[in-house]
Structure 1
């Protein structure tokens, strides 16, 4: 089934875009945009890229090789996401370099389940792990970030010691580095918490397909529970009767370009070249209502699932909150671009 493309994502140069204009036309209106001219001084654009524009993989192995990261196998689906495996950055780089020629040959097979070589490093908490290495500076347009400012200072996750007592702090964030060879991709999704996101291409090109929130119901199955996994896969019209009505925006993101993805916009992304990107999820006053509405719906669902044990629970509300936190964290790990 061919996608219906209704237009392209607008492009603006940062030198010609005032912050208030970005607020009025994109944050308030919840409209996507690609912004150029934001990455000239970034250290990552020098250290992480060869002069010919290809990723400097040896730099990562040398300086960050021992880091443990999550890697998605783009050829294997696991529930609503791709199968994840853990490995070191050095191991990932070795596989990438060893399989690069084969992966490029098998690019057309990535969606049919026959290709097992397209590995995509996702959700690397690089800033948290290497705070002294300033790879980039968050652009002015995205600095009003309540999510990551909060997580930087709040003791969110405890670390059990040898006696299984929680002592330390292991606070997460939503600032990530992604690395993938040509052909790697991310399935269709809307971002965690219905947050905003921005994604900057340090090198390589990405192809984006985005769908307005006004059409998101068309992606759901007959039971309004699960969304389409792959917009280029074999989509059953009986199971997803509304999908054929969807009209998409398309965007090819080049190196040194930053895309802003607003709240509730479903998107699917494919790397057209070997690519490294920096990504943030974030929210502030302009999209807080989206976040709150989602959390309230999830809370109601969580409460209904365990309603039958209310009478025998000493702290039913506390149990609801803990289950909500676990479920939200699980969704976050499954659905970040």
Structure 2
């Protein structure tokens, strides 16, 4: 029996039910053909001279004219900085000017929140594209769009040869990525191969290889045991990267893509486990701080609350989330599932300035798993969390109220009482 991982290709966009059963539940990658995004305005405006048989060319004039004032994060793919690439901020038109002058060959515009920029400027936030139905059940972007000034929707623009180093998306979230124009090569490593990607002597949170095309096998002796899926993504194609899959991406041509990180009830247990692991990692790194707090406590256990808050602050700074964010996102998703939002979300989830529920339309029931499935996934995470011995429920301000609101929406949680 051949157990080598593969990546399917769907010429026609799958139905939600087909996507759910064939890719979400089994956590398998897939590439979907250009029909999925044929109606996007970006396909018309961002590309020139495109045809079904030849690669289109990026319409730099249109992009520079319409989005040139944007400040964008630019990675220098020729300069490594710790576990990432050196980054700076530039006006988008200045980056385009370098590319059109056949310069800036190492520059890669990453994590560009163009949707947010357009919304803030009074434009329709999704005027250049729309999220495909199979990806609409997105708890991260629903919560972040309505309750914060951030989101996980990005535009990436890079010259040929630019790349994103080996990584796993935040807290094992899913991602989908569409090449509006250009071609990419992907290296996809299924979760069971994760252990092969770390430096020798490493554990689950140690340093991974930076560039799978150039690995020192003396430092990463198990890398040769990894057998990634290597695929080429062409113009107009969309790739689904499953939860917890490490991956690396190289632009084979000048390329512009639209990317989302996202999650929902299907991979919620994986996100929860990843959060637990992140907290443990930070706790181990701060053991000296914990010991100092304990020694200065004069016999009182009040220092534990301060310790938990320090850990949560570091977790948030390092990975962008902490437990409060996680459970507020879950609560928001449950309220959407129960169609409760006839008014402004309450319970410390009031929109920030610049946030807007209009930036994300929650998925209707026919584009989500069954209601009982959603509640069961949340319930298991809830029961595990309230039984944790880290003191987080009592120590994190406001968290007990959020958890209580989650519990009220779950059938017979049978969990430890929060009072």
Q: TM-score, structure 1 length as denominator?
A: 0.83
1:212 aligns to 2:209 (yes or no): no
Aligned to 2:261: 281
Contact kept? 1:10, 1:32, Cα under 8 Å: yes
1:89-100 to 2 correspondence within 5 Å? 89-99=92-102
| Alignment match, 1:249 | 229
Tell me, in whole angstroms, the C-alpha distance in 1 between the residues paired with 2:162 and 2:283. 38
The equivalent of 1:154 in structure 2 is: 147
Root mean square deviation, CA, Å: 1.6
| Structure 2: gaps of 5 or more residues | 51-55, 297-302, 322-419
* 1:213-228 equivalent positions in 2, closer than 5 A: 213-224=191-202, 225-228=206-209
Distance, in Å, in 2 between the alignment partners of 1:315 and 1:8 is 47
The yes-or-no answer on 1:318 pairing with 2:292 is no
Q: Which residue of 1 aligns with 2:167?
A: 189
Partner residue, 1:296: 276
Equivalent residues in 2 for 1:96-111 (5 A)? Answer: 96-99=99-102
- Determine the structure 2 residue equivalent to 1:308: 291
Matched, 1:60 2:63: yes
Q: Once the two structures are superposed, what CA deviation does each residue of 1:149-172 show, in whole Å capped at 9, x if it has no partner?
A: 0101224xxxxxxxxxxxxxxx21
Instruction: Find the aligned partners of 2:178 and 2:113 in 1 and give their Cα distance.
Output: 15
Give yes or no for the alignment of 1:25 onto 2:1. Answer: no
Alpha-carbon distance between aligned partners in 1 of 2:313 and 2:168, rounded to the nearest angstrom: 23
**What SS does the aligned partner of 2:96 have?**
helix
Q: Does the aligned pair in 1 maintain the 2:283–2:311 contact within 8 Å?
A: yes
Matched, 1:130 2:118: yes
Residues 1:41 and 2:46 are matched in the alignment:
no
Residues 253-298 of structure 1: CA distance to partner in whole angstroms, max 9, x if unpaired?
1111100000111111111111110000000011111111111111
Does the CA contact (< 8 Å) of 1:7 and 1:250 recur in 2?
Answer: no
Aligned-partner SS, 1:130:
helix
Task: List structure 1 runs of 4+ shifted beyond 6 angstroms.
Answer: none
Give me the whole-angstrom Cα distance separating, in 1, the residues matched to 2:168 and 2:183.
Answer: 21
CA distance in structure 1 between the aligned counterparts of 2:207 and 2:98, rounded to whole angstroms: 33
C-alpha contact 1:8 1:251 (8 A) present in aligned 2: no
2:363 aligned partner: none
Q: What SS does the aligned partner of 2:320 have?
A: helix
User: Separation in 2 of the partners of 1:8 and 1:75?
Assistant: 31
Normalized per residue, the structure richer in helix is 2
Which residues of 2 match residues 48-87 of structure 1 at below 5 A? 48-52=46-50, 53-87=56-90
For the residues of structure 1 that align with 2:263 and 2:5, how far apart are their CA atoms?
26
Give 1:21 shift. Answer: 1.5
Q: 1:238 offset after TM fit, Å? A: 2.6
Partner of 1:230: 211
Deviation sequence 1:25-69 (CA, Å, 0-9, x none): 111111000012111110011111112410011112111111111
TM-score of the superposition, structure 2-length normalised? Answer: 0.67
- Say whether the 8 Å CA contact 2:7–2:28 is kept in structure 1: no
SS at match of 1:69: strand
* Partner Cα distance (1:252, 1:260) in 2: 13
Secondary structure at the counterpart of residue 21 of structure 2? helix
Match of 1:177 in 2: 155
Gaps of 5+ in 1: 1-5, 104-116, 156-170, 331-337
Counterparts of 1:7 and 1:32, CA distance in 2:
9
Quote the offset at 1:192 in angstroms: 1.3
User: For residue 166 of structure 1, what is the aligned residue in structure 2?
Assistant: none
Q: Which has the higher strand share?
A: 1
Residue 327 of structure 1 aligns with which residue?
318
How many residues of Structure 1 are paired with residues of Structure 2 in the alignment? Answer: 293
